A and B are shown apart, each in its own frame.
Chain A
Amino acid sequence: MNIPMSWLRNIVNITDDTATFVDKVTAAGVKVEGIETTGEDITRVVVGLITKLERHPDADKLWVTQVDVGKETLQIVTGADNLNIGDYIPVALHGATLAGGLKIKKSKMRGLESNGMLCSIDELGCTTDDFPHANNDGIFIFLEPHPLGADVVPIMGLAEEVLDFEILSNRPDTNAVLGIAREVAAVYNQPFPQPKITVAETAGGHTNDLITVEIRDAEKCPRYIARVVTNAKIEPSPSWMQKRLTAAGVRPVNNIVDITNYVMLEYGQPLHAFDISAVAKQNGRHAVVVRTAYKGEKITTLDGVERTLTDTTLLITDTEKPLAIAGIMGSDNTKIIDETTTILFESANFNAANIRQSAKALGMRTDASARYEKGPDPNLATACVNRAMELVEQLACGNVVPGSVDAYPTPRLPRVVPFSPANINKRLGLALDANEITDYLRRVDITVRTKNETLEAIVPTFRSDITSEVDLAEEVARFYGYNRIVARHTQLVPIALPFTPGMTPRRRFDQTVRGTLVGLGYFEALTYPFESPKVADKLTIPEGDALRYPLTIDNPLGEDYSVMRPLTIGGLLSALAYNAAKRNDTARLFEQSWEYVPHSLPLQALPQELPKITLAAYGPDVDFLSIKGDVEDLLSTCVSGRLIFEPLTLPWMHPGRTASIAYKPHPKRDAIAVGYVGELHPQVARNYEIEARACLAVLDSDVLYEALGARKTTFTPPPKFPAMTRDLAFTVPEGVTAAQCETAIRERGGALLADVTLFDVYQGQQIEAGFKSMAYSLRFIAPDRTLTDDAAVKLLTTIRANLEQKHEARFR
Chain B
Amino acid sequence: MLEKLTQLREEIKKALENATPEAIEALRVKMLGKKGEITAVLKGLGKLDAETRKAAGAAANELRDWAQTQIEQAKSAAGADQLEQSLANEHIDITLPGKRRGVGRVHPITQMYDKLEQLFLSLGFDIVEGPHVETVYHNFDALNTPPHHPSRDRTDTFYFGEDFLLRCHTSPMQVRIMETQQPPIRVVVPGKVYRNDEIDATHTPVFHQMEGLVIDKNVNMGDLRGIMELIAQHVFGNGVAIRLRPSFFPFTEPSAEVDVACYICNGKTKTEPCRVCKDSGWVELWGCGMVHPEVLRKSGIDPDVYSGYAFGLGVDRLTSALYSITDPRLYFENDVQFLRQF
Contact = CB atoms under 8 A, between A and B. Distances in A.
Interface string B195-225: 0111100000110000000000010111101
A482 B259 CA distance: 12
A518 B104 contact: yes
B181 A514 contact: no
B246 interface: yes
Interface of A: 22, 26-29, 31, 34, 168-171, 352-353, 356, 360, 373, 426-429, 465, 468, 470-471, 473-474, 477-478, 482-483, 485-490, 492-496, 499-504, 507, 511, 514-515, 517-530, 551-557, 561, 564, 572, 575, 578-579, 582, 584, 586-590, 594, 596, 602-603, 606-607, 609
B93 interface: no
Contact of B126 (A502, A519, A552, A602): A502
A551 B221 contact: no
B220 A428 contact: yes
B222 A429 contact: yes
A207 to B, nearest CB: 34
A171 B248 contact: yes
A555 B229 contact: no
Nearest to A33: B278
A474 B127 contact: no
B257 to A, nearest CB: 8
A487 B159 contact: no
Contacts of B218: 426
Contact of A521 (B101, B197, B293): B101
Given A478-B254, A519-B103, 16 more contacts: A31-B257, A170-B248, A427-B221, A428-B220, A470-B254, A488-B226, A490-B223, A492-B124, A524-B107, A528-B205, A528-B206, A530-B158, A555-B154, A579-B335, A603-B160, A607-B133
B131 A427 contact: no
A530 B166 CA distance: 10
Interface in B116-175: 117, 121, 123-129, 131-135, 147-150, 153-155, 158-161, 163-164, 166
A169 to B, nearest CB: 6
A518 B243 contact: no
Shortest beta-carbon contacts, A-B, top 8 = A29-B246, A429-B222, A488-B222, A429-B220, A474-B254, A575-B334, A525-B334, A487-B226
Contacts of B43: none
A295 B292 CA distance: 41
11 contacts: A428-B220, A482-B221, A482-B254, A492-B186, A503-B121, A504-B127, A575-B333, A579-B334, A579-B336, A588-B104, A606-B164
B72 interface: no
A353 B184 CA distance: 38
B56 interface: no
A511 B118 CA distance: 12
A523 B339 contact: yes
Contacts of A31: 245, 247, 257
A428 B290 CA distance: 9
Interface string B59-101: 0000000000000000000000000000000000000000001
A507 B127 contact: yes
Nearest to B135: A606
A34 to B, nearest CB: 6
B233 to A, nearest CB: 11
Given A353-B147, A555-B158, A602-B161, A488 B220 contact: yes
B110 A514 contact: yes
Given A482-B256, A485-B225, A520-B104, A587 B336 contact: yes
Contacts of A606: 131, 133-135, 164
Given A468-B293, A487-B229, A429 B221 contact: yes
A521 B128 CA distance: 29
A502 B254 contact: no
B253 interface: yes
A482 B246 contact: yes
Contacts of A470: 253-254, 290, 292-293
Given A27-B245, A169-B248, A564-B133, A500 B126 contact: yes
Given A168-B248, A520-B104, A474 B229 contact: no
A631 to B, nearest CB: 15
Nearest to A488: B222
B192 interface: yes
B107 A525 contact: yes
B134 to A, nearest CB: 7
Interface in B7-35: none
Contacts of A586: 102, 336
A700 B31 CA distance: 78
A797 B147 CA distance: 82
Contacts of A426: 218, 220, 307
Interface residues of B, number: 88
B339 A524 contact: yes
Given A468-B293, A582-B335, A518 B105 contact: yes
Contacts of B105: 518, 523-524
A555 B335 contact: no
Nearest to A506: B129
Nearest to A352: B148
A590 B160 CA distance: 29
Nearest to A492: B124
Interface in B172-197: 181, 184-187, 192, 196-197
B238 interface: no
B235 interface: no
B340 interface: yes
A578 B135 CA distance: 35
Contacts of B45: none
B327 interface: no
Nearest to A621: B101
B221 A428 contact: yes
A34 B222 contact: no
Contacts of A517: 104
Contacts of A495: 124, 126, 184-186
A26 B259 CA distance: 11
Given A31-B245, A518-B104, A523-B339, A501 B125 contact: yes
Nearest to B246: A29
A518 B160 CA distance: 36
Contact of A554 (B103, B128, B161, B230): B161
A471 B293 CA distance: 11
A722 to B, nearest CB: 29
B323 interface: no
Given A168-B247, A603-B164, A529 B101 contact: no
Contacts of B132: 529, 594, 596, 609
A255 to B, nearest CB: 34
Given A482-B245, A490-B226, A524-B339, A499 B198 contact: no
Contacts of B250: 170
B103 A526 contact: no
B299 interface: no
B106 interface: yes
B90 to A, nearest CB: 28
A557 B131 contact: no
A168 B287 CA distance: 13
A419 to B, nearest CB: 13
Given A29-B245, A356-B148, A501-B126, A555 B159 contact: yes
A29 B155 CA distance: 26
A496 B159 CA distance: 38
A250 to B, nearest CB: 22
B331 interface: yes
A485 B222 contact: yes
Given A504-B128, A606-B134, A429 B332 contact: no
Nearest to A528: B206
B255 A474 contact: yes
Nearest to B164: A603
Contacts of B199: 557
B99 to A, nearest CB: 12
A489 B226 contact: yes
A501 B222 CA distance: 23
Interface core residue of B221, B250, B257 (most chain A CB under 10 Å):
B221
